[in-house]
Amino acid sequence: MRTMFKVMALAASLSASVSTYAFAEDTVEVLHWWTSGGEAAAVGVLKDDLQKQGVSWQDMPVAGGGGEAANTALKARVTSGNPPTAAQLLGMAVNEWAEEGLLGDLTSVADQEGWDKVVPDAIKAFAVHDGKWQAVPVNIHRPNWLWINAKVFADNGLEPPKTWDEFNVVADKLKEKGIVPLAHGGQPWQDTTIFDDVVVGIGGPEFYKKAILELDESALNSDTMVKVFDQMRKIRGYVDPNFSGRDWNLATAMVIKGEAAMQLMGDWAKGEIVKAGAKPGTNILCVAAPGTEGTFLFNTDFFAMFPVGEDKVAGQHKLAASVMSPSFQEAFNLVKGSIPARTDVPGDKFDPCAQKSMADLKAAQASGTMMGSLAHGHAEPAAIQRAIFDVVTQHFNSDMSSKDAVAALINSVNSAK
């Protein structure tokens, strides 16, 4: 009787553990801002990958390119004591949350999977704090691209511009013919995506480093910076009258459809191009933003884990391991438009634009011109970034002179420090 009881008890406990194993799913709730067509397709890749490992995805999307709205939503969730399992963060935001002591430690996963050997130092600088991995990099985006509708250019006998002067000549010709030269969405982060390109393109990488990364006052208060705002004023003349507030992906769609000739945007635009069935490098050309060849501005999307209870840690670790696996990095980045965050993923399945990105990244790492993007949260903390956004956008939408813009820039930066 006793033996019988033991056998039954053993059977019951076995079946309980088998069913726990078979049915208990880890659930991760992930807050992110990937809501455009191409971005949502990339989220689909991630969701499917996790599902295969028994992790179910609870979506918490917060629309708004560049992630400002998502960051505000994240702060509200954390402050009210209800953080998501994980959140998409740009580099400076990883730093800020890590300083608050709120991010989960992923070092055990990183050690097991050997992240240290395959992630570029510039990215590790944001992911690792006090020797601990606190965020997992999903990709490397390059914001300093110019996207060109190949047919519009061919029909009008135009060549991709290599400098801002060439850009102005091309744009004037298009404008004369009644073609919108530049598709743009007037939102502070989009204005500043262009501003970053102009700072590098007019001043060179060393000037970007001094003015933007070091906030060196003599660089901010220079003739070069006056010229940067002069070029921003020129660009303002090349956008269509309905640019204000337009989402970035709608601007990309204008280039895909040939309603505008060019867009200055990061390679998440390539996600839209691919999703629309156009070929990057053939229908839509990709060249470095004018004057920025040789410079790789970068931003990385990280996932960081928030304190949601011990029972959720297994799911968080599965998410982290999955995101860094070479097969996921390939599958995801093929759809997202970015390149893998690990340097050991082969490029053969990628399109020519991504292959150029991989080669340019290597060259920029060697020459010290891989630099964090201001517009995309890898150059300055949020307060200073926003101070610069304000001036760039105010200048773009008014008749403020370049000299006044420079004075406003210095004031704004100094009061945000």
Residue 67 touches ligand BGC, criterion: CB under 6 A: yes
Q: 344: which residues sit within 8 A by CB, 6+ positions away?
A: 118, 326
Query: How many CA atoms within 13 Å lie on the side-chain side of 142?
Result: 30
List the one residue from 46, 60, 66, 351 that touches ligand BGC (CB under 6 A). 66
Of 113, 301, 330, 380, the one binding ligand BGC by CB under 6 A: 301
Query: How many residues are given for the chain?
Result: 417
Part in contact with ligand BGC (CB under 6 A); list of ranges 64-72, 102-110, 213-221, 286-294 = 64-72
Query: How many residues line the site for ligand BGC (CB under 6 A)?
Result: 11
Whether the CB-CB separation of 270 and 286 falls below 8 Å is answered with: yes
Query: Between 26 and 301, whose beta carbon lies closer to ligand BGC?
Result: 301
| Out of 376, 379, 396, 405, the residue judged to bind ligand BGC by CB under 6 A | 376
* Contact map string, positions 15 to 54, toward ligand BGC, x by CB under 6 A: ------------------x-----x---------------
Shortest gap between Cβ of 246 and ligand BGC (angstroms)?
13
CA distances from 286 to 129, 150, 351 (A): 35, 10, 11
Residue closer to ligand BGC by CB (options 26, 380) is: 380
Binding piece for ligand BGC, criterion CB under 6 A, among 6-14, 65-73, 253-261, 357-365: 65-73
Site string for ligand BGC, 234-273 (x = CB under 6 A): ----------------------------------x-----
**Residue 336 to residues 56, 61, 199: CA-CA distances in angstroms?**
21, 16, 26
* Shortest Å distance, C-beta 263 to ligand BGC: 13
Binding of residue 145 to ligand BGC (CB under 6 A)? no
CB of 34 to ligand BGC, least distance (A): 6
Which one of residues 190, 299, 357, 385 is an interface residue with ligand BGC (CB under 6 A)? 299
In the list 55, 65, 205, 406, the residue contacting ligand BGC (rule: CB under 6 A) is 65
Residue 405 tokens read as: 């813009």
Q: Is 185 in the site for ligand BGC (CB under 6 A)?
A: no
Interface region with ligand BGC, contact rule CB under 6 A, candidates 63-71, 75-83, 218-226, 403-411: 63-71
CB of 376 to ligand BGC, least distance (A): 4
Segment contacting ligand BGC by CB under 6 A, of 62-70, 108-116, 234-242, 281-289: 62-70
Q: Report the DSSP beta bridge partners of residue 371.
A: 297
Contacts with ligand BGC, residue ranges (CB under 6 A): 33, 39, 65-67, 90, 141, 268, 299, 301, 376
